[in-house]
Amino acid sequence: MRTSPMTRLTLHISWLCLALLLLSGAATARELPDFTVLVENYGPAVVNISTKQKVKARPHMRLPPGVPMPEFPEEGPWGDLFRHFFGNPGEMPEAPGGEDARSLGSGFIIDGDGFILTNNHVVEGADEILVRLNDRRELVAKLIGADKRSDLALLKVDASGLPVVKFGQGDKIKVGEWVMAIGSPFGFDHSVSVGVVSALGRSLPSESYVPFIQTDVAINPGNSGGPLFNLDGEVIGINSQIYSRTGGFMGLSFAIPVDVALDVVAQLKQKGYVSRGWLGVLIQDVTRELAESFGMKRPAGALVAKVLKDGPAAKAGIEVGDIILEFGGKSIDSSSDLPPVVGRSPIGADTKVSLIRNGKRTTLNVRVEELPKEEELTLAESKPGKSSDNVLNMTVADLTPEQRKELGLDKRQGVLVQQVEAGPAQEAGLRRGDVLLKLNNVDVDNVAHFNRLVTDLPAGKSVPVLVQRRNGPLFLALRLPK
């Protein structure tokens, strides 16, 4: 059977297309990253870190005065049990020492003279820190300084001419780029795992001053403190945490960005501790409902739920209910964006803050101060007072002077929520024990004032409500049905 020239031409084109497709696939496969050179060049700068910590000896039980130590068999379970609680005959009531508790992690050399960077939680509380190099040498390290808020620690070993890493730039990290981690998961030295950057600027509850890099690189216990490399062999992060329901890797790992780490290292070298900027506000995210209640077209910014007395924000005139959209020229899209930006702001410098107040945009100047060492905001248990029912289907009560003092309220403000039943208040998230401070941007003086404000609430429209809870102030969006 003969084929026409046109048919033969079609077949030739088809075979050519297939060949090009196969060649393209092979070229794509060859373009996948090769990490072997990176491991050879920078793997020697990664170290294994182990620590020793003395465990306080458990005191033995004492017999009542005048009661002699009974005789007990030297061998067998009864003898072991008696020694466990009372010790051996003639011993002091408390054992002379305890066993060493050991932890394991990773780190990497940042300076040829022996400076090593790792996580604070790897070395915290250690009596002795031991660093094992790639060439199997083991050196005792000195803790230069540590910073709990960023979970970073700087160590120093007595050595020179050590292999070092090179650093990348935090502002050049891109979601989707390939990255590689080297560490000691479960004690297996210099294990390599690879993946991609999953997200940037992640905020975790334990470290609000760190905009974490999220990756899908396999990180397990022992990887903590190890470096995260890009394809250029530059360290762009320090592996710190994982999100897991099992204790093992589940595809979510978090690294401290390199620019945060370098700032911490510089301060630890210079003064042994880390200073951060402080604004003196408690903030929360702006939800869709809250955005509507504040007259915004879309959720954005950090909503100020409390202004701390005598803090930088209070001095600058920032008020509860303000929504911060920019700080120092940097956009604040969500509440988690604000703490890292403020934290890295120069202390004592005047900084412009752009915010929305009562639906209008305004700009203030704030002088950033140093973050205090400890900040604890707690609420005391409230006692029931006089109550009043209302159309929100909730019961509130006046606060006593003692309660106001315990809550830190400087003026006559707020009512105690005693009961919330099915209705608008419950749908908004109000609950028993809340102290309702503001309703529709108006300070609530007492129960009578609260009732008057409720009668003026617009139907079918969301209004902001500020409440105080044990863990701090919180804005909620309340809507009355039409």
CB 53 within 8 A of CB 126: yes
Residue 379's pLDDT band, with cuts at 50, 70 and 90, is very low
Q: Above 70 in pLDDT, residue 403? A: yes
Q: Is residue 349 included in any domain, yes or no?
A: yes
Q: Is residue 8 included in any domain, yes or no?
A: no
pLDDT reported for residue 171: 84
Q: Above 80 in pLDDT, residue 197? A: yes
Q: Is residue 44 included in any domain, yes or no?
A: no
How far apart are the C-alpha atoms of 449 and 453, rounded to whole Å? 6
CB atoms near residue 281 (< 10 Å): 25
Give yes or no: residues 266 and 284 share one domain.
no
Residue 24's pLDDT band, with cuts at 50, 70 and 90, is low
- Is the pTM higher than 0.75? The answer reads no
pLDDT reported for residue 68: 54
121 in catalytic set = yes
Give yes or no: residues 287 and 352 share one domain.
yes
Q: Above 90 in pLDDT, residue 248? A: no
| Domain extent at residue 313 | 277-370
Report the amino acid identity of residue 162.
L
Domain count, the chain: 3
How many Cα atoms occupy the beta-carbon half-sphere of 72 within 13 Å?
A: 18
Q: What is the CATH number of the domain that holds 183?
A: 2.40.10.10
- Name the active-site residue from 121, 147, 150, 382: 121
Mean pLDDT on 431-450: 86
Q: Above 80 in pLDDT, residue 142? A: yes
Q: Is residue 144 included in any domain, yes or no?
A: no
DSSP string, 436-472: EEEETTEE--SHHHHHHHHHTPPBTSEEEEEEEETTE
Give yes or no: residues 289 and 243 share one domain.
no
Q: Is the dihedral of CA 458, 463, 466, 467 positive or negative?
A: positive
CB atoms near residue 182 (< 10 Å): 26
Q: Above 90 in pLDDT, residue 153? A: yes
Q: List pLDDT tens digits, range 359-372.
A: 889 999 999 998 88
- Name the active-site residue from 50, 103, 106, 151: 151
Picking from 370, 405, 440, the residue at the C-terminal end of a domain is 370
Mean pLDDT on 113-124: 93
- Name the active-site residue from 198, 224, 253, 345: 224
Give yes or no: residues 199 and 246 share one domain.
yes
12 in catalytic set = no
